Amino acid sequence: QTVVTQQPSFSVSPGGTITLTCGLSSGSVSTSFYPSWYQQTPGQSPRTLIYNTNTRSSGVPDRFSGSILGSKAALTITGAQADDEADYYCVLYLGSGIWVFGGGTKLTVL
């Protein structure tokens, strides 16, 4: 069974830069998996940040960017702000109508 891996938690200082990653239990992530990223704060529905590896969703500030770094998909937040504190999820399309979410990264800004 394919597992999508994310760092469980991360901390960043206000104004800092952080890169969250999204990998596969076996194999490398490529653009063919159409990686996308979501932000979720407690009690809220997820918010779509990035789709198709590096395309920002409407209204998402450009300090959020997506890429492939080595064998993983990556979400970089540049100039972190207090309201970036949230859970971040990636999801990969495995083909044949199947999507798998990563376990999520809890980001703390302090």
Q: Which residues bind another protein (CB under 8 A)?
A: 1, 34, 36, 38, 40, 45-48, 51-52, 55, 57, 87, 89, 91, 93, 96-104
Q: How far apart are CA 73 and CA 59, in angstroms?
A: 21
Question: With respect to another protein, which residue has the nearer C-beta, 61 or 79?
Answer: 61
Q: How far is the CB of 62 from another protein (least distance, A)?
A: 18
Nearest alpha-carbon partner for 78 in 90, 92, 60: 60
Buried b (16+ CB within 10 A) or exposed e, 61-81: eeebbbebeeebbbbbbeebe
- 96: tokens are 């044949």
CB of 45 to another protein, least distance (A): 4
From the CB of 10, what's the least distance to another protein, in Å? 15
Q: Which is nearer to another protein, 29 or 91 (CB)?
A: 91
Instruction: For the CB of residue 64, give the shortest distance to another protein in the complex, in Å.
Output: 14
